[in-house]
Amino acid sequence: MTSFSIGDTDFLRDGRPHRVISGAIHYFRVHPDQWQDRIRKARLMGLNTIETYVAWNAHESRRGEWDATGWNDLGRFLDLVHGEGLDAIVRPGPYICAEWHNGGLPVWLTGGERALRSSDPSYLADVSEYLRRVYEIVAPRQIDRGGPVVLVQIENEYGAYGADKAYLASLVAVTRDAGITVPLTTVDQPVDQMLEDGSLPELHKTGSFGSRSAERLATLRRHQPTGPLMCSEFWDGWFDWWGGVHHTTEVEAAASDLDELLAAGASVNIYMFHGGTNFGLTNGANDKGRYLPLITSYDYDAPLDEAGNPTAKFFAFREVIARYAPVPDELPAAAAPAPALTVPLTSAGAWTDAAASAALADRPQTFDELGHLSALMRYDVELPDAAGGLLVVEEVRDLAWIAVDGVRAGTLSRTRHDRAIVIPPGRMLSVLVEDQGRVNYDHRLGEEKGLVGTVTLNGTPLTGWRSTPLDVAEIAAGLAAGSAADATANSAGPTAWTGVFELGAQSDLFLDTDAWSKGFAFVNGFFLGRYWRNGPQRTLFVPAPATRIGENVLVVLELEELVSAQAAFVPAPALGVTSE
């Protein structure tokens, strides 16, 4: 079997110097039927390795319900990497950031008072069980057992969060006890304190950066005197948030930075080679004083775009890599226009009144208290003496629509730091709250969602709340099956819409959402994700395996109003105005 180790200056493959030229593909952001295509294109760009995070909350969204099948079949993904003749790097966290909801940690883990990402015994017990499950998949696929895995990472940019060396040592012990024999690494930004806090002497330090390669490598070398230099997150693009722009990096500049890195003899993992999509409700959020939920697309301005097509950056990177390593002669096919068609939509009625069990309590119950993992919670309370006035919430997480007796009064937004609104007199107050994405970075992991704390009207607390979880995927499934709600509803307010369209072949599609306001979209029951006129994103990617030859069903759950009661599929993605 092949060996892989760390030498004085290089990675060693069977004792010979070896440079890792890797690219990131997150299996959980790509339809499983398209994994093979993306991996093959990585090889065609000249990569010899594929890196992936492991998203714990994708595998175990509810405690004890472990799933490693379908979208979560990490073993199959690694086998496909191996079948393409490539190596693999696995980064199981448990924390991954990745602009993924809650940084990859399950909500059931992060709720409560225990210290996250620390040597807290109860936290470590859960983390250890998780890692053992992952390593049951990874260990038999290590390179010295005939598989593709050459490196495993411990934690993730831990120096930006904490300095609990006992915690890191515990993760190493679990990893080694589970049979992981390949070299173990850590990654941090090339900042002295982060590199010092985020690793242990027995772990190989790597850096994360996207420019000024020589300078960053010099910093890394001060903390890693021997062994190969590696940038294990070479940022070739960036992520987007609602209300922002579509971030891009200049192709020639990114290629030049990659060239500088490789010219220095360093190994690299390009983050991202192919970004994919935050399908469903999987987008994360940032909050550094202002809450910014991330968009559905994770295109990342990567060498392969969201739909898996090569970009100008693909060919520029390929040209750079060819100066340092063999590159296949074969090229991937250029992007072809997707089918364009228009689909009339039919109102399926109000959908946020969907029958569901409600919790009764003096104060609003959070998503977390009710174990609710979907996007919406509806809160209802009777107003004393049919009074109106100043409504004040302690905190809304993250966006709330306020209605009195069914008439909209306005919204409260966490992003805007809203806390108060004047409501008209009426009998019943209804508040519909959307969890727009869990913060994936720093110390806001695991915060509760919904109406948090006390709600007052003219200074007096409102009591006697009904908190009703709304599972948008279940509601959409019911509508697709024909169980429509009140079909007499007009186009204003939360209204569901359905449409049917025909395809002659399964095809990647781009659903144009420009004529809609805010909501969720599904094709044949496949949850495409969120859309919002706040932008920058204007299309939702529909992977070909989610489509059918013949009849296809589109369901749209609109939270506000449609400008036009039709759906359009367009030939190419529209991700918004760029930062250039």
DSSP secondary structure of 180-204: --S-EEEEE-S-HHHHHHT--TTSE
Mean pLDDT over the full length of the chain: 96
Q: Confidence class of residue 487 from pLDDT cuts 50, 70 and 90?
A: very low
In this predicted structure, the answer to whether residue 243 has a pLDDT above a threshold of 50 is yes
In this predicted structure, the answer to whether residue 112 has a pLDDT above a threshold of 90 is no
Q: Confidence class of residue 355 from pLDDT cuts 50, 70 and 90?
A: low
Q: For this structure, is 561 an active site residue?
A: no
Residue bearing the bigger pLDDT, 88 or 1:
88
In this predicted structure, the answer to whether residue 369 has a pLDDT above a threshold of 50 is yes
Helices marked H in 291-388 — which ranges?
312-321
- Domains, the chain, with CATH or none: 4-237+245-276+298-321 (3.20.20.80), 341-349+472-570 (2.60.120.260), 357-470 (2.60.120.260)
pLDDT digits (tens, 9 = 90+) for 457-468: 999 999 999 999
Poorest-confidence range of 61-65, 133-137, 251-255, 481-485? 481-485
Q: What is the average pLDDT across 216-236? A: 97
Q: Confidence class of residue 485 from pLDDT cuts 50, 70 and 90?
A: very low
Asked if residue 213 lies in contact with residue 261, where contact means CB atoms within 8 angstroms, the answer is yes
Report the pLDDT value the prediction gives residue 113, as an integer from 0 to 100.
84
Q: What backbone phi and psi angles, to 5 degrees, belong to 358?
A: -115, 145
In this predicted structure, the answer to whether residue 174 has a pLDDT above a threshold of 60 is yes
Q: Confidence class of residue 488 from pLDDT cuts 50, 70 and 90?
A: very low
Partner residues linked to 555 by β-bridges: 498, 522
In order, the DSSP letters of 62-93 are: STT----SGGG-HHHHHHHHHHTT-EEEEE--
Share of the chain above pLDDT 90, in %: 95
Q: What is the average pLDDT across 416-432? A: 98
pTM for the whole structure: 0.97
Poorest-confidence range of 3-17, 54-68, 91-105, 351-365? 351-365
Q: Report CA torsion sign: 539, 543, 544, 545.
A: negative
Asked if residue 553 lies in contact with residue 500, where contact means CB atoms within 8 angstroms, the answer is yes
Which one is catalytic: 51, 157, 434, 448? 157
Q: What is the average pLDDT across 437-449? A: 94
In this predicted structure, the answer to whether residue 49 has a pLDDT above a threshold of 50 is yes
Measured in Å, how far apart are the chain's first and last C-alpha atoms?
Answer: 49
Q: What is the average pLDDT across 205-227? A: 96
Which one is catalytic: 99, 233, 448, 558? 233
Report the pLDDT value the prediction gives residue 483, as an integer from 0 to 100.
52
The H or E element containing residue 454 is strand 450-457
Percent helix, strand, coil in the chain, to 5, is: 25, 35, 45
CA pair distance 461, 391, nearest whole angstrom: 10
CA pair distance 256, 280, nearest whole angstrom: 36
Q: What is the average pLDDT across 361-372? A: 96
Q: What is the average pLDDT across 127-152? A: 98
Two structure tokens written together for 577: 């105005």
Q: For this structure, is 252 an active site residue?
A: no
